[in-house]
Amino acid sequence: MTGVEVTLSTGRVAGRALDGVNRFLGIPYAEDPVGDLRFAAPRPRSPWPGVRDATRPAATAQRLRFDTDPAIPEPIVAGTDILHVDVWAPSHGPETSGSGASGPGASGPDGAGCPVMVWIHGGGWESGSSSQPWFDGATFARRGIVVVSVGYRLGVEGFTPFPDAPDNRGMLDWIAALEWVQREISVFGGDPGQVTVAGQSAGGGAVLCLLGSPAATGLFHRAIASSPAVLRAPAVQPGKDVSAASLAAGGAGAVDEFHRRLRKDNPFTLPFRPVVGGELVPEPPLEAVAGGHAGRIPLMIGFTATEFEIIADALPWPALVPGAALVAMSQKIPREGLRALARQSGGRSLRRSVGAVIDAAAIHSTVARAAETRAAEGDPTWVYDFTWAEGNGPRHCSDLPFFWAVPDAENVERFLGEPAPSSLVEAMHRSWVDFVTTGDPGFPAYEPDNRQVRQWNDPPAVIGDGLAAVREVWWPEGTG
């Protein structure tokens, strides 16, 4: 391992080079959100003197731990520098270039910069971080891609709407990070004209929000939404007795206590999410992902086959049906769609049936609606369904170690329940590499005449009308 330095517009940073990858952790893209900035729009970072150490993880926005055994380990690092990016860059150009370039600023084919993937982590808009071990960008960097993982404000600080603060502060952070990429990524060998924004779960919902946001126009050129969460119910309001100013005056302790209160008062729903309305998200994300500027951006989108059945396993019996009913109503599953789910769940246990309702409402519907809307407009769209059923099955997050090619990362094998087949890891990882590099993942696009879906199993397959079951729930009369 050797040291490596680059010069940004705000100063020098020192990272590490290891096995052909330059790693820089915790590079600030905005001022620390403390004091008067805690609930403000992100402010551009002032220059720093000397060389900033970028060899260790920076502070995490997540300060509270609600899940005692999260699928993806959630490191919590104290500090205030939460508005930062982690960067993994090839020490040389892409494997196909043969350029022999080395060090920061290495170029891609024909002297062009390397393609860039900007990652927005998930976690229900209240947990997760840029430095979670499943999101080690080294595997992509070794294939000629610069990876940028974004730290952003979460929970109350990022998404609770207050009358005395701008809405969607976490989303403003995403946009500020994308603007940082446009200014600085060439220093790392990246091409600001070849940026893919990608995310999973809440991060996948972030991608769909950004697709429809006028403020993000021109900041990225491809998009990957993995198990995207787009919740239709409005964000939880703070109440008249709480303001951004009063919480900011109380500091992190007051914010965390209010976060716990919102969590306690909303046991069956996520209290945080982007707010629809205004300049950032002028219309519901699923109405803005097709046509116009959004429609010109290639989108790969997909889900796991049994996303949230594990939630049904965790619900106590008295809460099982009411919890599913609340999710179904908040996501507006049509009555005939519920009957379709009942038919599809014939012979399954009550818990499995409830899990199917949660899956359909929370994730599967989002993918189907986005795919159908874009296909009707002729927008370039690719859809996948992760169905690998070995071990613990295709549940939420189980596809990530495959796409990131990290089968040996912390907690992966225990979460999957079986070792990940190397051939499937390679195929799924290659699909993201190809999409980020060329805009084509290597399987057929989702189009109205055949609705082909890539089924990720061992071996992979392509399925015609691969969203038929989901379409039956949301469009019981058919879509033609």
340 or 127, which is more confident: 127
Q: 148-206, pLDDT tens digit by residue?
A: 999 999 999 999 999 999 999 999 999 999 999 999 999 999 999 999 999 999 999 99
Provide the pLDDT confidence category of residue 343 given band limits of 50, 70 and 90. Answer: confident
Between CA 54 and CA 88 the distance in angstroms is 11
Give the DSSP H/E element, type plus range, for residue 4: strand 2-8
| 194: helix, strand or coil | strand
Cα–Cα distance list, 305 to 36, 70, 288, 322, 377 (Å): 44, 20, 25, 23, 26
The answer to pTM > 0.85 is yes
Provide the pLDDT confidence category of residue 213 given band limits of 50, 70 and 90. Answer: very high
Provide the pLDDT confidence category of residue 476 given band limits of 50, 70 and 90. Answer: low
How many other CB atoms sit within 10 Å of the CB of residue 263? Answer: 17
Amino acid at site 286: L
Examine residue 318 and say whether the peptide bond preceding it is cis (omega within 30 degrees of 0).
no
Model confidence at 106: pLDDT above 90: no
Cα–Cα distance list, 221 to 178, 255, 305, 348 (Å): 11, 36, 28, 43
Quick one: DSSP state of residue 154? -
Between CA 249 and CA 243 the distance in angstroms is 10
Three-class DSSP labels, the chain: CEEEEEEECCEEEEEEEECCEEEEEEEECECCCCHHHCCCCCCECCCCCCEEECCCCCCCCCCCCCCCCCCCCCCCCCCCCCCEEEEEEECCCCCCCCCCCCCCCCCCHHHCCEEEEEEECCCCCCCCCCCCHHHCCHHHHCCCCEEEEECCCCHHHHHCCCCCCCCCHHHHHHHHHHHHHHHHHHHHCEEEEEEEEEEECHHHHHHHHHHCCHHHCCCCCEEEEECCCCCCCCCCCCCCCCCHHHHHHHHHHHHHHHHHHHHHHCCCCCCCCCCCCCCCCCCCHHHHCCCHHHHCCCEEEEEECCCCHHHHHHCCHHHHHHHHHHHHHHCCCCHHHHHHHHHHCCCCCHHHHHHHHHHHHHHHHHHHHHHHHHHHHCCCEEEEEECCCCCCCCCCCCCHHHHCCCCCCCCHHHHHCCCCCHHHHHHHHHHHHHHHHHCCCCCCCCCCCCCCEEEECCCCEEECCCCHHHHHHHCCCCCC
How many other CB atoms sit within 10 Å of the CB of residue 284? Answer: 15
Provide the pLDDT confidence category of residue 100 given band limits of 50, 70 and 90. Answer: very low
Residue numbers annotated as active site: 201, 307, 396
Model confidence at 102: pLDDT above 80: no
385 or 314, which is more confident: 385
Average pLDDT over residues 10-33: 98
As given in the structure block, the two tokens for residue 72 are 């993806």
Chain mean pLDDT for the chain: 89
Provide the pLDDT confidence category of residue 101 given band limits of 50, 70 and 90. Answer: very low
Model confidence at 441: pLDDT above 70: yes
Cα–Cα distance list, 246 to 82, 170, 253, 330 (Å): 21, 19, 12, 30
- The pLDDT of residue 94 is 41
Dihedral Cα 440, 443, 448, 451, nearest 10 deg: -140
- The pLDDT of residue 479 is 46
- The pLDDT of residue 128 is 95
How buried is residue 279: exposed, middle or buried, by Cβ count under 10 Å (0-12/13-18/19+)?
Answer: exposed
305 or 313, which is more confident: 305
Model confidence at 90: pLDDT above 60: yes
Q: Give the DSSP letter string of 159-185.
A: H---TTS-S-HHHHHHHHHHHHHHHHG
Provide the pLDDT confidence category of residue 234 given band limits of 50, 70 and 90. Answer: confident
Which residues lie below 8 Å from residue 469, measured CB to CB, with a gap of 6+? 344
* Fold type of domain 1-288: Rossmann fold (3.40.50)
Least confident of 112-116, 191-195, 325-329, 387-391: 325-329
Domain boundaries, the chain: 1-288, 303-433+445-480
Bridge partners, 353 (sequence order): none
Cα–Cα distance list, 1 to 17, 33, 196, 408, 447 (Å): 6, 33, 29, 21, 47
Q: 401-418, pLDDT tens digit by residue?
A: 999 999 999 999 999 999
Strands 2-8 and 11-18, sheet pairing:
antiparallel
As given in the structure block, the two tokens for residue 206 are 């972030």
How many other CB atoms sit within 10 Å of the CB of residue 56? Answer: 10
271 or 210, which is more confident: 210
How many other CB atoms sit within 10 Å of the CB of residue 214? Answer: 12
As given in the structure block, the two tokens for residue 453 are 């879906």
Q: 36-86, pLDDT tens digit by residue?
A: 999 999 999 999 999 999 999 999 999 998 888 899 999 999 999 999 999
- The pLDDT of residue 266 is 83
Query: Percent of the chain, pLDDT > 70?
Result: 85
Between CA 16 and CA 4 the distance in angstroms is 5
Average pLDDT over residues 378-391: 97
Rounded to a whole number of angstroms, the CA Rg of the chain reads: 22
